Structure 1
Amino acid sequence: MPSPLSTEEIEALARKRAGAKLGWYTHAAAFAVVNLALFGMSRYGFGDRPWSVYPLLGWGLGLALHGISVFVLGTGNGLRERMVQKERERLQREQDRNGH
């Protein structure tokens, strides 16, 4: 069972998670603006067929994966936190074995 987090660790983790969420919202806003512009160019300007669906799908997949990494895997009991905790414990054991 992981040890309780200190106030400083809670603050650092909260800032990191808020930054990750803000990064996703920025990514989503850029996605919307750029894809609206591409749609306009595709519909009213360049090309005979609507080609804007291709960047929309590709970038949409990237945005979805980014969202999963932030909102699903980045939660309190997520995979990343468990991996970090295991590494922290391993490093502490090594340090204790070496007498530090």
Structure 2
Amino acid sequence: MVVIRLSRGGAKARPFYNIVVADKRVRRDGRFIERLGFFNPLAKDGEEKLRVAQDRLTYWRGVGAQASPTVERLLKQGTLPATAAAAAA
């Protein structure tokens, strides 16, 4: 099965995660099919915290890839501020 999940990078105590499409049987930080974006949990105010290529995400979900629970949560959190900003404009 193909999953959309986080792959950890960064230094000790400074995590940085890539959002990747990978085979479920491959280890967390191992080989992946495609990189869709990133998540930086320690981003400061001026830095980007989450970036995802929405077109590629839609494609992979369309062909049956399932997102991990953490990625699902991040995507929901990432779209809420954008939706609120669009509604306020």
More helix by share: 1
The two structures have a TM-score, normalised by structure 1, of: 0.24
More strand by share: 2
